[in-house]
Amino acid sequence: MKNVGGRIEELLKEKNMTQRELAERSCTSESAISHYIKGDRTPNSSTLSNIATVLGTTSSFLLGDENEVTTFAETKRILARNAANLSKEEKLELISLLMS
């Protein structure tokens, strides 16, 4: 099971985002992000929430919940939060999944 830092690092890679970009977008220092990824520190709840929002996920997932999305409402919230960041291909993939 991955820790918070491992999940942050994994999502950064998936999104082709740097630690600096995450820090700027989540109102956190780049140094703090580095410490979270190394496992030296754990973000407080507010910071964790900001990081999760930027990475398009939930605090629960970052904390280790294997079932990232458990309800339809949560799915809608995540999609709404990230719709502007989805590529055309990703949007078409979502439509295809919904139609199957």
Q: Which domain holds residue 55?
A: 4-99
**What CATH number is attached to the domain comprising 70?**
1.10.260.40
pLDDT of residue 68: 54
Structure tokens at 45: 């709840």
Secondary structure (DSSP) of 40-83: S----HHHHHHHHHHHTS-HHHHTT-S-S--SHHHHHHHHHHHG
Report residue 76 CA to chain centroid gap.
15
Give the confidence band of 70 by pLDDT, cuts at 50, 70, 90.
low
Domain count, the chain: 1
pLDDT of residue 67: 60
pLDDT tens by residue, 15-31 = 899 999 999 999 999 99
pLDDT of residue 49: 93
pLDDT for 66 beyond 80: no
pTM above 0.85, yes or no: no
